[in-house]
Amino acid sequence: MSALKNSIISISILLILSGCSIKHYTIGMSESEFKNSEKYNLELVEETSQHTVYRRIAAADSQMKPLSYHYYYFNNGTLVRTELVEAPKPGIVLLSK
């Protein structure tokens, strides 16, 4: 009976892990395909007639302050580059008495 129980637990864990999919963006994918796959955590940063840049939060701290961003660069509706950028950290100011 314990072998069956272990099998059921193992299958359940595998199903849960397979449900947590990771989004993959490939160079050459269309801008509309990208926007359809990333609807909520996406910000338009720059847009011209031939060039578009989007940004999404890659990591945040416990207070939801961004630690890093992913930038996605499109030329003529095609993904040409991605970049991971650390969020700038505020400078520390020491006040002397």
Range in 7-11, 41-45, 87-91 the model is least confident about:
7-11
Count CA atoms within 13 Å of residue 59 on its CB side: 8
Q: Is residue 9 part of a domain?
A: no
Q: Is residue 5 part of a domain?
A: no
- Say if pTM beats, i.e. exceeds, 0.75: no
8 Å CB contact between 32 and 83: no
Q: Is residue 52 part of a domain?
A: yes
Q: Tens digits of per-residue pLDDT, 13-62?
A: 544 444 444 567 788 999 988 888 877 788 899 999 999 999 988 888 88
**What pLDDT is stored for residue 8 in this prediction?**
64
Dihedral (Cα; 63, 61, 81, 21), 10-degree rounding? -100
Q: Is residue 72 part of a domain?
A: yes
**What pLDDT is stored for residue 50 in this prediction?**
93
How many domains does the chain fold into? 1
By C-alpha distance, which of 80, 68, 83, 70 is closest to 31? 80
Range of the domain at 58: 23-86
